[in-house]
Amino acid sequence: MKKLLVANRGEIALRVMRTARERGLASVAVYSEPDRAALHVAYADEAYLLGPASPAQSYLNIEKLVEVARRAGADAVHPGYGFLAENAAFARAVLAAGLVWVGPHPDAIDAMGDKVRARQAMLAAGVPVVPGATTALGSVDDALRAADEYGLPLALKASGGGGGKGLKVARTRDEIAGAFATARREAEAYFKNPTIYVERYLDNPKHVELQILADKHGNVVHVGERDCSLQRRHQKLYEETPALVSERVREGLRAAGIRAARAIGYDSVGTIETLVAGDEFFFLEMNTRIQVEHTISEMTSGLDLIGEQLRVAEGEPLGYAQPAIAFRGHAIEVRVNAEDPAENFRPAPGRISAYREPGGLGVRIDAAATLGTEISPDYDSMIAKLIVWAPTREGARARLRRAIDEYAIGGVPTTLGFLRALNDHEPVVRGDYGTATLETFAATWTAAPAPLRAAPSAALAAPGEPEVVRVEVNDKLYVVRVLDRPPAQGPAAGAARRPAPKPSGARARNGRGSSGNDVVSPMHGVVVEFAVGAGDEVREGQVVAVIEAMKMMNEIRAHRSGSVAAVVATVGETVEANAPLVTLT
């Protein structure tokens, strides 16, 4: 290989390009219209426009991506994660074009991409699975019979996807019909495949995954396991390795993961995901791609997993066996997202007005954001991944605490403050947390006042918050909050008093504030569905609409009971935060 096209965006595109450059490969970036100024575009040796913001017209456009690869003279395509990374049709299109596919062979993607087939394959390989069905659900009655067989709570899950999308939990029989309908709707919306299956829902297990590395010559090794239990809406926020599980689980999981990879002839990097309850573990799914949290496995093993993935794609043997991989120390990754944890992790697109990364021993930042970066509502909300390493877990937690305190981001709310508090949450300190821990903690968490320290820019002060400034008194530096700034004088005062221009058109309509009778969208997004119509009676807390924002489905609930006087938005419409959706009487 001499030239690599990276069919992705953001930090993972930049991550792949960095390793490509170290290996002497030229890199080709692709981008959508909103990503013209993105860092991965500036870093690449060449860059090509795919199309508009919509992923269907840009990062998910297989024909366009293959055409760009040919036009650029690329030898190979790396899909990153997300988008088309686990799309067997894309892999086959790349191979049919005579290019190297940097990933597992398409049959392996197919085998693991359908969760029903994956469960069947794992059972055949002797890998334990969560108790549940090995065939698709055809109706609500099928789900009710599954509840009788496997018990409640019950998880109804999209067969064609993962990441918590198309997953609904029914804790009572009365909730099964609604969970069935919602899971099918999300499965169709996200994966173009409405097939769902059912399994027993385990309350607060650990979510532990095993990093797999295999070549095209039958060699398979693991690169340790990661604890990814700290999640919100089944999206991971805090991951660490080694996982905090018993040695019995660790040994069994590692052996089962190697067995599972060999059973499907796996030949790239990949991840076996499991749920752990006590001393038992159960196969959940396999991700046939590089994962977001691969970074912490790199930190403890010393391997460049992207580099290994490129070597394997070129047909090189691994050249080492399991004993050659020595694990050292403890690593933690947290995801810094443009979300407001105080508002149920509401996505918060916008412009980064100030930015300063932490540094020092054992600190790594994987980011594609900097001062002025626009966090687009069209894609996910990740700003950066903050990764730390230390010889011990206690040292890694302390280093994470310090690094978060150094990280400064202005212009958009972020998860940093929440992650700082989560790191010191008692179940996290003890290490006995599970998949329900984070959301339980989030329900009671309140943001602490920001510490008084010098900021990279006054723009870091959020609207309405006191300004933080530095002053010197007798040659000693103080950082103070200004609570009552005197009014501005002169020309600046007139500018300050001048009202902002009023929005017009659709922006004015979508952005106007809610009356007490309106159910509003709490975020910028696309209206996917209305669950009510004019004349319907609704109760407080009932779902009235579904908004897709930054790759997440968000159920919008009525703030009070009443009758629907009007539905004031339309399905498919893009609305701003506080846009009225439904008017109640």
* Average pLDDT of the residues in 479-495: 64
Residues 228, 438 contacting (CB under 8 angstroms): no
The per-residue pLDDT for 513 is 43
Q: What angle do CA 328, 438, 163 make, to 5 degrees?
A: 80
**Domain covering 210-444 assigned CATH 3.30.470.20 in the classification:** yes
The per-residue pLDDT for 512 is: 38
* CATH-assigned architecture of domain 131-200: 2-Layer Sandwich (3.30)
At residue 65, the 3 state secondary structure works out as: helix
Instruction: Grade residue 307 by pLDDT with cuts at 50, 70 and 90.
Output: very high
Burial profile 483-509: b = 16 or more Cβ within 10 angstroms, e = fewer: eeeeeeeeeeeeeeeeeeeeeeeeeee
pLDDT band per the 50, 70, 90 thresholds, residue 185: confident
Q: Are 263 and 124 in contact (CB under 8 A)?
A: yes
Mean pLDDT, residues 442-454 taken together = 77
Segment 389-405 shows an average pLDDT of 98
Sign for the CA dihedral angle at 271, 277, 281, 284 comes to negative
User: Is a pLDDT exceeding 60 seen at residue 423?
Assistant: yes
Q: Is the peptide bond before 522 cis (omega within 30 degrees of 0)?
A: no
- The percent of residues above 90 in pLDDT, for the chain, comes to 67
pLDDT of residue 578: 82
More confident residue, 32 or 158: 32
Residue 491 neighbours by CB under 8 Å, 6+ apart: none
Which CATH class, in words, describes the domain spanning 512-584? Answer: mainly beta
Query: Which pLDDT value is given to residue 506?
Result: 36
Apex 41 CA angle, 39 and 46, nearest 5:
145
Which pLDDT band holds residue 495 (cuts at 50, 70, 90)?
A: very low
Secondary element (H or E) of residue 93: helix 88-96
pLDDT score for 166 = 82
Q: What is the DSSP letter of 401?
A: H
Six token digits for residue 90: 């894309």
| DSSP secondary structure string for all residues of 274-303 | EEEETTEEEEEEEE-S--TTHHHHHHHH--
Average pLDDT, the chain: 89
How far is it between the farthest Cα atoms of the chain? 79
CATH 3.40.50.150 correct for 3-102? no
- Report cis status (omega within 30 of 0) of the bond before 242: yes
In sequence order, the β-bridge partners of residue 240 are 227, 332
pLDDT in tens, 87-136: 999 999 999 999 999 999 999 999 998 888 888 889 998 999 988 888 88
284 vs 122: CA distance, rounded Å: 10
Closest C-alpha among 29, 40, 41 to residue 68 = 29
524 vs 214: which has the higher pLDDT: 214
pTM: 0.83
User: If 0-12 CB within 10 Å is exposed, 13-18 middle and 19+ buried, where does residue 439 land?
Assistant: middle
| 235 vs 412: CA distance, rounded Å | 20
| Strand segments (E) across 173-250 | 196-200, 206-214, 220-232, 235-241
487: pLDDT strictly greater than 70: no
H-type alpha helices, 163-269: 176-191, 247-263
Q: Write out pLDDT tens, residues 142-182.
A: 999 999 999 999 999 988 766 667 889 999 999 999 999 98
Indicate the domain borders of the chain.
3-102, 131-200, 210-444, 512-584
Which 8-state DSSP code applies to residue 324? G
User: Among the listed ranges 36-45, 271-280, 409-418, 451-460, which one has the minimum average pLDDT value?
Assistant: 451-460
Tokens coding 256: 């089962």
Q: How far apart are CA 155 and CA 483, in angstroms?
A: 50
Question: What is the dihedral angle through the alpha carbons of 96, 102, 108, 112, rounded to the nearest 10 degrees?
Answer: -120
Quickly count: other Cβ atoms within 10 Å of residue 457's Cβ.
14
Q: What's the pLDDT at 476?
A: 66
Amino acid, res. 355? Y
**489 pLDDT above the threshold of 70:** no
